[in-house]
Amino acid sequence: MQIRELKIPDSYEITPKQFGDDRGVFLEWYRFDRLSEAVGHSIDLRQANTSVSKRGVVRGIHFADVPVGQAKYVTATHGAVLDFVIDIRVGSPTFGEWDSVLLDGVDRRAIYLAEGLGHAFVALTDDATVSYLVTDTFNAAREHGINPLDERIGLVFPDEAGEPLLSPKDTDAPRLDEAAAQGLLPTYDAMRDFYATLDSKENRS
């Protein structure tokens, strides 16, 4: 597989090598060793989630308190989504910026984003099925959101997504600057310290 760091530091696009014949296709969609090489430490996966969305559904921007936070490894197993990683780390050189990866059944890419980054996607097809591997179990009290329609962030949804469909939870979420003022966002320096602890644990093992 090929692993490429995205414009937002600590997030990566993963493109698997596919092996096809007259029976179908085989691929490795997750390799802990290859991802560890890129990230600098192994990923302790603790929960797997799946969502199914109709075209136009927007999920996110979501993030969890750090520590422990939730690093995510995300792929689409059916249909297509445009997946976004958003830098919400206050003080980061790319604070408020984003990058995206098309996840679909053609290239079968995945995206990895470290703890402390925001995550969202928009479904480009009906029955878009997204599977997530995450590094901590869900804890509602530690989960937060940012309104994905915040002009300050400026996510761009493809025309084929149609009219955005959001949950009340996401439309009621604060905008980026409001979340920062409320003290909900991680800081870049704190996240760098947190990543360093993960790297040092790996080096001691």
Catalytic residues: 62, 132
Q: 60 near 49, Cβ under 8 Å?
A: no
Ranges assigned E (strand) in 87-205: 98-104, 110-113, 118-123, 128-134, 143-145
Cβ-based neighbours of 178, under 8 Å, separated by 6 or more: none
Contacting residues for 90 by C-beta, under 8 A, at least 6 apart: 180, 185, 186, 187, 188
Could you tell me the two tokens for 47? 């929960």
- Collapsing DSSP to helix, strand or coil, 175 comes out as coil
Q: Which two tokens stand for residue 21?
A: 């014949």
Sign of the C-alpha dihedral computed for residues 182, 187, 190 and 195 taken in this order: positive
CA atoms of 152 and 156, how far apart (whole Å):
12
Interior angle at CA 118, CA 42 and CA 51, nearest 5: 85
Backbone phi, psi, residue 79, to 5°: 75, -155
